Structures are given as structure tokens and as C-alpha cells.
Amino acid sequence: MIDFISAFKSTDFEHELMVNLLEGKEPFYDELRMQYRNASVVRRERSSFSSTTYYKVPTEFRPMKVRNKVFDDYKVEVIESSSELGVSLVIKNGYLSHIELSDDSGNFPPNLSLLTVYKD
């Protein structure tokens, strides 16, 4: 079962996670940070295995040269789980699309507090 949660602002956890994921020095990250700063949360989906947050970037932003990309080589450690969570950041059609956190155990924590983010 998936719960749909509607909200328009990132949570503190989501914001802290995105800041860590987007700290690259390449120009691509500058564009992605700008999109994130101006994006709104469209919806959230949560299940016992994952949590996904979908973003909408304002139409005045031009798409990035990188049209479609999935950053799925990150892991995150949170206080509420003894196992690390997988992280995927998705770019679609040149825009920030969504971020997904997953836990293969089926015990996805209801609330999250970030400890660390690292490349797998």
C-alpha cells in the first residue's frame, strides 16, 4: 500500500539531504541547485519500502543540457534505522523530478533524521 501525502515545502530532512547530494562543483550542479531552490513539492508517496518526493520546477527555468539522469549511487544513514537507505535522485527532461529513499527490509522509518550521506 502506498500513502499519498500532499505538501508544498521540503521537510528539514529532505532539505538537508538535497544540500548534501547537490554539493558537486561541476556547472551541472549549479543548475540543479538553482532548480531545487525554486522548486515546490508536488506530492510525496510513502510505503513500507520507500519514500518518494516529487518536485515541480517553475516553467521560467530552461531545461538543463543533461536531459535524463538517475543518481542512484548514494546511501544515507538515519538515526531511526540500523540499515542504510538507498537514495535515487532523478532528472527528467532536463528538470529535477524526484528523490526516492528505499529500504529493502520493508521497515521504512516513519520519520527521518539524517546522520550522513555517502557515495556507494
State the pLDDT confidence band at 2, using cuts at 50, 70 and 90: very low
| Structural domain containing residue 35 | 3-119
29 pLDDT exceeds 90?
yes
Residue 107 and residue 45 in contact, taking contact as beta carbons nearer than 8 Å:
no
**Residue 2 cell numbers, joined:** 502506498
Closest CA to 94 of 55, 53, 62: 62
**Above pLDDT 70, what percent of the chain?**
92
Q: How many domains does the chain have?
A: 1
DSSP code, position 87: E
Higher-pLDDT residue of 4, 94: 94
CA angle, corner 30, sides to 5 and 64, nearest 5?
A: 75
The mean predicted confidence, pLDDT, of the chain is: 89
